Amino acid sequence: MQNSEAMALSAALLAAAGGLTHRIHEGVVARGFEGLRPAHGFAFARLAPDGATVTDLAVHLGVTKQAASQLVDEMVRKGYAERRPHPGDARARLIVLTGRGWECTRAAEEAAAEAVREWEDVLGEPVLRTLREQLPRIAPRGPVRPTW
C-alpha cells in the first residue's frame, strides 16, 4: 500500500470513529441526557459493570488522576455516578454508575445500534459482518480513549 493510500484509509477510519462518537453523543442528548460530553461516555464504559477507582479511570482515559477526579466530580454532581467504599481497599473509593448512569448507558447503546444500522444500509450486511469480524484483529488491545 502506498503512503497516500495508507493516509486515505487512516483518515477514513478516524472520520468513521469520530462520526460514530458524535452520533452516539447526539443520540444520548436526544434521549434527554444533558450536560454530558463524549468523554463521559468513555468513562461510563469503564465504570460498567463493576465500577472503578479514579486511578483505574485515569489509566483507561489516558489522563492524570486529577483530570479523572474532576470528571468523576462532575458525573457525581450530575447524578450519573456515586462514590462508594471500595470492598477490597479501605483507602480507595469505588466509582459506580447510578440508575441514571445506567439509563444513559442504555441510551448510548441504542444510539450506537441506530448508527450501525445506517452503516448496514450503506454497506450491506456482508460487508458490515466482515468489518465486525476483522477490525478487532487490528484494533489496539487497550482501552478506547477519547480525543480531548
State the 10-residue block means of pLDDT for the chain, 148 residues long: 88 91 94 90 89 93 93 96 92 95 96 95 95 88 62
Q: Are 44 and 105 in contact (CB under 8 A)?
A: yes
In b/e form, how buried is each residue of 40-57, taking b as 16+ CB within 10 angstroms? bbbbbebbeeebbbbebb
Q: Are 81 and 98 in contact (CB under 8 A)?
A: yes
State the Rg of the chain over Cα. Answer: 17
Q: Whose grid coordinates read 442528548? A: 29
Query: Looking at residue 148, what is its pLDDT?
Result: 47
Query: Looking at residue 62, what is its pLDDT?
Result: 87
- From residue 55, alpha-carbon distances to 2, 58, 98 in Å are 41, 5, 19
- From residue 138, alpha-carbon distances to 11, 33, 131 in Å are 16, 33, 11
